[in-house]
C-alpha cells in the first residue's frame, strides 16, 4: 500500500485531515526521462473559469497562514471559490474540526482582514469571522465547507448507512446561524468510497451516489454541492469502486485529485513527478497522470464542465538520489519544512529550483535530493490543456503553499 502524505501537526495534538492522496497498490518499474507533451484535439472547447483554492483550518498555527494572507497575496482577487478544510465526519454526522481555529481564535487589528481587532465579547471570531470579512471585500467570492480529507474520511462509511440523517446534520452545521451567510455550499472529500485510504471502506458501490443525492436533496438547487474524488485511472482502481458517473447529476462539479500520483512513500523510488499532466516514457504506472484521469471520467459519462483540473502548490521529493532524470533510485524521503517528503512551492522554488520537465510538470535535482512540483510555466501548460478539454476550471491544494505575492495562482488566472 502506497502511503499518502502524513497529517500535519496541529494545536494540542489535533490530527490534520491532510488532503488528497490518490493511491493504492504498489508498483515497480524503471522511469525514463523523455518529456511528453499533451496530445490535444484541434478544436478548443468552451472552458470554465472556476478557480477553487483550499484553505486549511490548521494553517493558522505552524504555517502562520491566515485569511488576511488570501487578501494580501492578491489571491482573493483571482479566486472564485474557497474550500474550507476540513470538517470532521463522525458518528454518522458532519462535525466541527478545530472549533478554536474556526470560531474562537482572536485576531488583532494588524492580523485582521479589515484592520479591525476582535473583541473579547463578540459572538464569532476565528477563521469564520475573517472569511465573512473577506466576503464583504469580495461579494462574488463563494465559500464551501469541505468535510473529510485523508484523516477524517473513516466516518463516511457510517454516514452512508443513513444518508438523509447525514445530510441533515451537515445542513444544520453549515447553515448554523452563528455564521450565517458564510457558506455557499458543501464539499465532500471522501477518501475513498468503497475503497481503501487511511482505512478501508466497504460501503458498496452505490453508497457514494446515495450520499451525494441526499446532500443535494437537503441543500437544494441553490447551494453548491461539490466533491474531491480519486484520480486513479487504472482498471479496477478507485474510480471504478463507486458510481461517480451516477452521482455526477447531484454535484455542481468534481475535483479529481490529479496530484500525489507518486511520492516517497515508495522510499527507494523510482523517482517520478507527483503531478504529471501526461504519461511519458518510463512512467512507473501509465494510468497515473491527469490526462488519463480526465479521459476516464469523461468516458464514464461525467461532463467535462463538471470536472476541474487539480494543481498541487507543493512538491514531493526523495533523498539519496544519484541521477537528475526521473527514474532514479533513492534512500528515503527528502527533508521538508513540516514533514518528510513534501514541501511548499514557496520553499522549493529557491531551495531546489527546477532543472527539467517531464510529463508536463517540473522536477528539480539538487545535491542528492530530487523533487517534483509545478511552476508558473508548467501550470500555463496545464491551463492550455484545461481549456482545450473544456473543463469547468481549476482547483488547487492549498493556498499557503504559494508565494506571498500569489505566483502560482496568477499562473492559473
Set of cell numbers at residue 296: 476516464
Q: Where are the beta strands (DSSP E) in 222-368?
A: 224-229, 253-256, 308-312, 314-319, 332-333, 342-344, 356-358, 361-366
Q: Give the position of cell 532524470.
A: 325
pLDDT of residue 19: 41
Q: Does residue 354 sit within a domain?
A: no
Q: Give the position of cell 510538470.
A: 361
Q: Does residue 351 sit within a domain?
A: no
Q: Does residue 26 sit within a domain?
A: no
Its domain, for residue 97, covers 42-312+375-412
Set of cell numbers at residue 357: 520537465
Containing 143, the helix (H) or strand (E) segment is: strand 142-148
Separation in Å, CA 213 to CA 147, 166, 252, 349, 379: 16, 11, 12, 42, 34
pLDDT of residue 315: 98
Q: Does residue 12 sit within a domain?
A: no
Q: Does residue 338 sit within a domain?
A: no
**CB atoms inside a 10 Å sphere around CB 336:** 20
DSSP H helices, 265-373, are 290-299, 345-351
Residue segments in the chain with a per-residue pLDDT below the cut of 50: 1-44
* Spatial separation of the C-alpha atoms in residues 312 and 53, rounded to whole Å: 10
Per the structure, how many domains does the chain have? 1
Q: Which of 44, 57, 175, 191 is catalytic?
A: 191
* Spatial separation of the C-alpha atoms in residues 352 and 291, rounded to whole Å: 27
**CB atoms inside a 10 Å sphere around CB 285:** 22
pLDDT in tens, 261-301: 999 999 999 999 999 999 999 999 999 999 999 999 999 99
* Spatial separation of the C-alpha atoms in residues 247 and 160, rounded to whole Å: 14
Report the alpha-carbon angle 333-360-40, nearest 5.
Answer: 150
Residue 67 — left, alpha, or beta (φ > 0 → left; ψ -120 to 50 → alpha)? alpha
Q: Does residue 19 sit within a domain?
A: no
* Spatial separation of the C-alpha atoms in residues 56 and 389, rounded to whole Å: 29
Q: Does residue 4 sit within a domain?
A: no
Q: Give the position of cell 522549493.
A: 348
Examine the residue annotation and report whether 191 is marked as an active-site residue of this protein: yes
Q: How many residues would you count in the chain?
A: 413
pLDDT of residue 44: 42
For residue 200, give the 3-state DSSP assignment: strand
pLDDT in tens, 141-199: 999 999 999 999 999 999 999 999 999 999 999 999 999 999 999 999 999 999 999 99
CATH of the domain at 80: 3.20.20.80
Q: Does residue 20 sit within a domain?
A: no
* Spatial separation of the C-alpha atoms in residues 221 and 290, rounded to whole Å: 30
Amino acid at each position: 500500500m502506497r502511503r499518502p502524505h502524513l497529517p500535519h501537526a496541529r494545536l494540542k495534538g489535533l490530527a490534520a485531515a491532510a488532503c488528497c492522496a490518490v493511491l493504492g497498490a504498489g508498483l515497480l518499474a524503471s522511469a525514463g526521462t523523455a518529456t511528453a507533451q499533451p496530445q490535444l484535439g484541434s478544436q478548443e472547447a468552451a472552458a470554465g473559469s472556476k478557480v477553487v483554492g483550499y484553505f486549511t483550518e490548521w494553517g493558522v498555527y505552524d504555517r502562520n497562514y491566515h485569511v488576511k494572507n488570501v487578501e494580501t497575496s492578491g489571491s482573493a482577487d483571482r479566486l472564485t471559490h474557497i474550500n474550507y478544510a476540513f470538517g470532521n465526519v463522525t458518528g454518522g454526522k458532519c462535525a466541527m474540526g478545530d472549533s478554536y481555529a474556526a470560531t474562537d481564535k482572536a485576531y488583532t487589528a494588524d492580523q485582521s482582514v479589515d484592520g479591525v481587532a476582535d473583541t473579547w465579547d463578540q459572538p464569532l471570531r476565528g477563521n469564520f469571522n475573517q472569511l465573512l470579512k473577506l466576503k464583504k471585500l469580495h461579494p462574488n467570492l463563494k465559500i464551501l465547507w469541505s468535510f473529510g480529507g485523508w484523516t477524517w474520511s473513516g466516518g463516511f462509511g457510517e454516514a452512508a448507512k443513513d444518508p438523509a440523517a447525514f445530510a441533515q446534520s451537515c445542513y444544520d452545521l453549515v447553515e448554523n446561524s452563528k455564521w450565517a451567510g458564510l457558506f455557499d455550499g458543501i464539499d465532500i472529500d471522501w477518501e475513498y468510497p468503497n475503497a481503501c485510504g487511511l482505512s478501508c471502506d466497504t460501503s458498496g458501490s452505490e453508497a457514494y451516489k446515495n450520499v451525494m443525492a441526499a446532500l443535494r436533496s437537503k441543500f437544494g438547487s441553490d447551494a453548491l454541492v461539490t466533491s474531491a474524488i480519486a484520480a486513479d485511472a487504472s482498471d479496477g482502481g478507485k474510480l471504478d469502486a463507486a458510481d461517480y458517473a451516477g452521482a455526477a447529476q447531484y454535484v455542481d462539479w468534481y475535483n479529481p485529485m490529479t496530484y500525489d500520483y507518486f511520492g516517497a512513500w515508495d522510499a527507494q523510488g523510482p523517482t517520478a513527478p507527483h503531478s504529471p499532466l501526461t504519461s511519458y516514457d518510463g512512467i512507473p504506472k501509465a494510468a497515473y497522470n491527469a490526462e488519463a484521469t480526465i479521459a476516464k471520467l469523461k468516458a464514464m459519462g461525467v461532463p467535462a464542465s463538471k470536472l476541474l483540473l487539480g494543481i498541487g502548490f507543493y512538491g514531493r521529493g526523495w533523498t539519496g538520489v544519484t541521477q537528475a532524470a526521473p527514474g532514479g533510485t533513492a534512500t528515503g524521503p527528502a527533508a521538508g519544512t513540516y514533514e518528510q517528503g513534501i514541501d511548499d512551492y514557496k520553499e522549493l522554488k529557491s531551495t531546489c529550483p527546477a532543472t527539467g520537465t517531464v510529463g508536463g510538470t517540473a522536477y528539480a535535482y539538487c545535491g542528492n535530493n530530487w523533487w517534483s512540483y509545478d511552476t508558473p510555466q508548467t501550470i500555463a501548460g496545464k491551463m492550455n490543456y484545461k481549456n482545450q478539454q473544456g473543463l469547468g476550471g481549476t482547483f488547487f491544494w492549498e493556498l499557503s503553499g504559494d508565494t506571498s505575492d500569489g505566483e502560482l495562482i496568477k499562473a492559473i488566472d
